[in-house]
Structure 1
């Protein structure tokens, strides 16, 4: 497994732990539909949170959240639509991004709620 994949998995686990500490219930991890993947599907207070996790150990690439492209958003919306229909979920949907910045000395998690809209 590549270092990038290891960091991605570690970042997703940090995000899951963070969400649980905030009262979220984790429904799915790495939900896949066609070419799309949702990192984390969680619920809290009648909200279905579709969460994209971004992990970085350097800020040299700019804002972590800005790495979520229009193409990625389109894929997330498609996968979410499939998930909601196949499991007959009747909750409001919200798209979030959790950014994790971690170096040897710093660990910072930010939860951007309603990070983008699908309409």
Structure 2
């Protein structure tokens, strides 16, 4: 076991918790979740939903309070946006959604570093 594994395992757990929180939130708001963690050779889309006739690709970013690397929303940089858009093209083509309106949202979640309770939840519609 390397020294990095406990950190990676904690980071993975934080990400999974954030995705679960986001899924529950969007379902309570009337979104129909089509896929969670959809994967292809090029990568993964966190959430794909349908809302009022629009396909919504949701990038979920989760951080703990007091982190050193900026906010969850700030972590969705140009490279990440490009990657999500490229993956969404593959998803839409494979699932027959040509011509359906598409929107890219971000769910930015901050968890309390001691309790894992949600300290902040930001839904940024049409983030990119």
Fold conserved (TM > 0.5)? yes
CA deviation profile, 1:50-81 (whole Å, cap 9, x unmatched): 00101111254333211112221111111111
1:32 to 1:102, Cα distance in 2 relative to 1, 3 A: same
- Structure 2 residue corresponding to 1:83, chosen from 64, 67, 91: 91
Q: Unaligned 5+ residue runs, structure 1?
A: none
Q: Unaligned 5+ residue runs, structure 2?
A: 1-7
How far is 1:18 from its partner? 0.2
Task: Check whether the contact 2:109–2:118 (CA below 8 A) recurs between aligned residues.
Answer: no
- Structure 1 residue corresponding to 2:110, chosen from 94, 101, 119: 101
- Structure 1 residue corresponding to 2:25, chosen from 6, 18, 24: 18
How many residues get paired?
116
Q: Distance in 2 between matches of 1:78 and 1:57?
A: 28
How far is 1:106 from its partner? 5.2
Cα RMSD of the aligned pairs, angstroms, is 1.6
Task: Check whether the contact 1:102–1:108 (CA below 8 A) recurs between aligned residues.
Answer: yes
